[in-house]
Amino acid sequence: MKKLISLAIILSMVGFAFADEGMWTMDQIDKLDLHKKGLKIPLEEVYNNDGTSLFNAIVNLGGGTSEFVSSNGLILTNHHVAYGAVQRASTQGTDYLTDGFLANSPEEEIQAPGTSAMVIDEIRDVTDEVLAAGAKIKDLVKRQKAIDKKIQTMTDAIEEGKEDVTAKIAEMYEGQQYLLYIYKRFDDVRIVYMPPLAIGNYGGDIDNWMWPRHTGDFAFARVYVSPDGVGRKYDPENVPYQPKKWLKISTRDLNEGDFTMIMGFPGRTSRYRTSHSAIYNRELYYPDWLKKAADVIEILEKAGEDSPEAAMAVAGMRKGIANYEKKYTGTVAAMDRDDFIQKTIEQEKKFMEFVKSDRKLKKKYANVLEDIGELYKGLGTTKKHDDVLNAFGYWAGTLPSVANQLVYTVNEREKSETERDPNFSEKDVQRNVARLHYRYMGFYEPAQKELLKYFIEKAVELPVNSRVKGIDKVLTKNNMSASEFVDHAFENTKLNDAEYVKTLFELSSNELKNLNDPFLELAIAMYPEDEIDRKASEKFNAEVTALRKKYMEALRLMSDKAVYPDANSSFRFTYGDVEGYKPRDAVKYAPFTTLAGAIEKDTGESPFNLPPKLRELYETRDYGNWIDTDLDDMPIAFLHTTDITNGNSGSPVLNAYGEMIGIAFDGNLEAMLSDWKFDPAIQRTISVDIRYVMFVTEKFAGADYLLEEMGLK
């Protein structure tokens, strides 16, 4: 069968597992010939599901990754991963972001508000059990709801009665496989050392996604548990967690060509999506998102001019949006530069050649691309309406988002089992309620009012056939303009009190309505449209997932090699070598940056304003044991060919001996097509060199005790 299509066509179509491509699940790494690639330790020391291995030192830290580096619960991650928690900790009047923070002893460590750390206890394949739930159901929507309900039931059962256990089931290969991850969760994480902004975010938005890079993007924290080892929220009686495994900090030299590997929790990739998805994202999703992001950033920046406290309050939201704004801008440019859509269409022609080469393949897969295209034709028809409607779940501010969450919760709770959203979980509701106050820590009313006004005005501007009827209803009923309603809402709401809001989750929908709160009035009016939108998404997702599953089946038939699944925030492994790249003609980037380069960029003004002490250390060459003798300088960051995406931020970079040589924190702008396509020529991971981390910690911060704790003194 496969002989009917040339090997060249197969390889050009799928391109699986070549160069250093792949975000692999842990049960696949024995297929990667890692010892031939340079690994010097037994594979069981990297991952052993029945014992202790390097895998056990990796920590899920919300939207990022971190790692244990001592036997006393000490973890390393990125400065930008810790940024939000440090921002929230700074709202009491002390600016820990600008000035940095160092606890000179465990007693001085401060809470990282809203931060949870999780370590995987077990990975289990539960494919048969999950798929059995929908095996006899022909209706795709009902089948998917049955699968989702089964997943929720399974994870609830595992977590039942366990204070510090979280279970997640991840879908692989568009539903061909389901893996269960059981985590031990820690809700007491404390900040140990956060370098000042002038080190941890040196270069700011200008250098973000760029090479050469001179950012010391790291931070230390510590994980705490109860005296009997249970993960729980902050308590003065809690003690540092004693992990099964922690990473050894490398004191070896690092050179171009050296083997590296990364383990972590990459977010989302779309490597196996069709041209229909690519067109939708390039022509609709990305442009609309970027316009919205630019406007919101402008609102936040203007509000931040009011005072240092205002700037601190909006910093987290602004930074997060700005990060993706630059990424998506780069993605659009890369799609166009690479002629990605046309190339994808050409690849799909080769796919059809393969499918038509065999009668059975043709019968099963010949219509899959066409059917996916038909689904996407209808996807954009309500997009303008849906974008405004969905903005009230995050973009429009804290209070509209909280009101929407309240209305959704009380209504779902009152539905029958068959009508209820299968993803609704009472356990999740209670967990979210307990953490609700963290959402208010970045609350700055002038900025919140401007955000709400902006999105209500966007609703008012929609054409007649795309109106958000709930917003029209509220404005008409109150006979108010967008601006007037916003003022009215903030003057008459009680939802700005987080503790009060927590009590409302136990009310009925009628009781919630009778409160006559303006934000609840708005959320209640929009709820019917939210339900229509949710059910439409439910239908599209069920139908497109079934088709993508068939497409993925055919793609896997086209390769005899192992195929990695798209990233989905589950645990993954990647490997590659230290290597520079050529971004364009006559330009070649070296794989290392140094402190000398940071000095060259220093203007004395943010974001290129190195602390004077760091310049003094450079001038006296007081580098301790951390100098790179080949570079004759202090290394800051390095490039390597590992395959990562958002969510890998904070992941440890390990050498061939399993020792920590860096912390992954970014990718390069030229390769922003990487979520769609891996390009070995230009795709690089940017990691902060562990030698710079230790140098700053020891020589700049004077935190020798941390080096002692890590066994370096």
Instruction: Check whether 391 has a pLDDT greater than 50.
Output: yes
Q: For residues 260 and 659, give the distance between their C-alpha atoms in angstroms, rounded to a whole number.
A: 10
The per-residue pLDDT for 2 is 36
Average pLDDT score over residue span 349-375: 96
Q: What is the dihedral of CA 184, 187, 190, 194, to 10 degrees?
A: 80
The confidence band for 14, taking pLDDT boundaries of 50, 70 and 90, is very low
The confidence band for 20, taking pLDDT boundaries of 50, 70 and 90, is confident
The per-residue pLDDT for 92 is 63
Average pLDDT score over residue span 73-90: 96
Q: What is the percentage of the chain residues whose pLDDT exceeds 90?
A: 93
261-289 pLDDT tens trace: 999 999 999 999 999 999 999 999 999 99
370-387 pLDDT tens trace: 999 999 998 888 999 999
Average pLDDT score over residue span 493-520: 97
527-573 pLDDT tens trace: 999 999 999 999 999 999 999 999 999 999 987 778 999 999 999 99
The per-residue pLDDT for 81 is 97
Q: For residues 713 and 702, give the distance between their C-alpha atoms in angstroms, rounded to a whole number.
A: 13
The per-residue pLDDT for 380 is 85
Average pLDDT score over residue span 303-328: 94
Average pLDDT score over residue span 575-602: 97
Average pLDDT score over residue span 55-80: 97
Average pLDDT score over residue span 498-508: 97
Average pLDDT score over residue span 514-526: 98
Q: For residues 299 and 454, give the distance between their C-alpha atoms in angstroms, rounded to a whole number.
A: 9
Q: Which residue has the higher pLDDT, 3 or 80?
A: 80
How many CB atoms are closer than 10 A to CB 362? 14
The per-residue pLDDT for 538 is 94
Instruction: Check whether 6 has a pLDDT greater than 80.
Output: no
How many CB atoms are closer than 10 A to CB 268? 12
Q: What tokens appear for 631 in the block?
A: 């570079």
H or E element in which residue 613 lies: helix 612-620
3-state SS, residue 66: strand
Residue 360 backbone zone (phi > 0: left; psi -120 to 50: alpha; other: beta): alpha
The count of C-alpha atoms lying within 13 angstroms of the C-alpha of 478, restricted to the half-sphere facing its C-beta, is 22
Cα separations in angstroms, 618 against 412, 592, 607, 699: 60, 17, 19, 11
Q: For residues 186 and 241, give the distance between their C-alpha atoms in angstroms, rounded to a whole number.
A: 9
Instruction: Check whether 687 has a pLDDT greater than 90.
Output: yes
Instruction: Check whether 334 has a pLDDT greater than 60.
Output: yes
Average pLDDT score over residue span 571-597: 97
Single-letter residue type at 28 = Q
The per-residue pLDDT for 19 is 55
The per-residue pLDDT for 49 is 87
Q: For residues 565 and 471, give the distance between their C-alpha atoms in angstroms, rounded to a whole number.
A: 41
Average pLDDT score over residue span 644-651: 97
Residues in the chain: 713
Q: For residues 249 and 251, give the distance between their C-alpha atoms in angstroms, rounded to a whole number.
A: 7
What integer best gives the mean pLDDT of the chain? 95
Question: DSSP assignment of 330-348, as one string?
Answer: HHHHHHHHTTHHHHHHHHH
The per-residue pLDDT for 302 is 96
Instruction: Check whether 3 has a pLDDT greater than 90.
Output: no
Cα separations in angstroms, 465 against 295, 469, 477, 649: 24, 10, 20, 42
The per-residue pLDDT for 7 is 34
Rounded to whole angstroms, the maximal C-alpha distance in the chain is 74
Query: To the nearest 5 percent, what fractions of the chain are helix, strand and coil?
Result: 50, 15, 35
Q: What is the percentage of the chain residues whose pLDDT exceeds 70?
A: 97
The confidence band for 16, taking pLDDT boundaries of 50, 70 and 90, is very low
The per-residue pLDDT for 505 is 97
Average pLDDT score over residue span 63-71: 97
The per-residue pLDDT for 10 is 37
The count of C-alpha atoms lying within 13 angstroms of the C-alpha of 510, restricted to the half-sphere facing its C-beta, is 0
Instruction: Check whether 11 has a pLDDT greater than 60.
Output: no
Domains of the chain, start order: 2-116+187-270+566-709 (2.40.10.120), 275-555 (no CATH)
393-439 pLDDT tens trace: 999 999 999 999 999 999 999 999 888 998 899 989 999 999 999 99
Instruction: Check whether 1 has a pLDDT greater than 80.
Output: no
The per-residue pLDDT for 447 is 97
- With contact defined as beta carbons under 8 Å apart, do 340 and 283 qualify? no
- With contact defined as beta carbons under 8 Å apart, do 69 and 246 qualify? yes
Closest CA to 30 of 560, 652, 562: 562
Average pLDDT score over residue span 644-657: 98
Q: For residues 430 and 410, give the distance between their C-alpha atoms in angstroms, rounded to a whole number.
A: 12
Instruction: Check whether 134 has a pLDDT greater than 80.
Output: yes
Q: For residues 436 and 503, give the distance between their C-alpha atoms in angstroms, rounded to a whole number.
A: 11
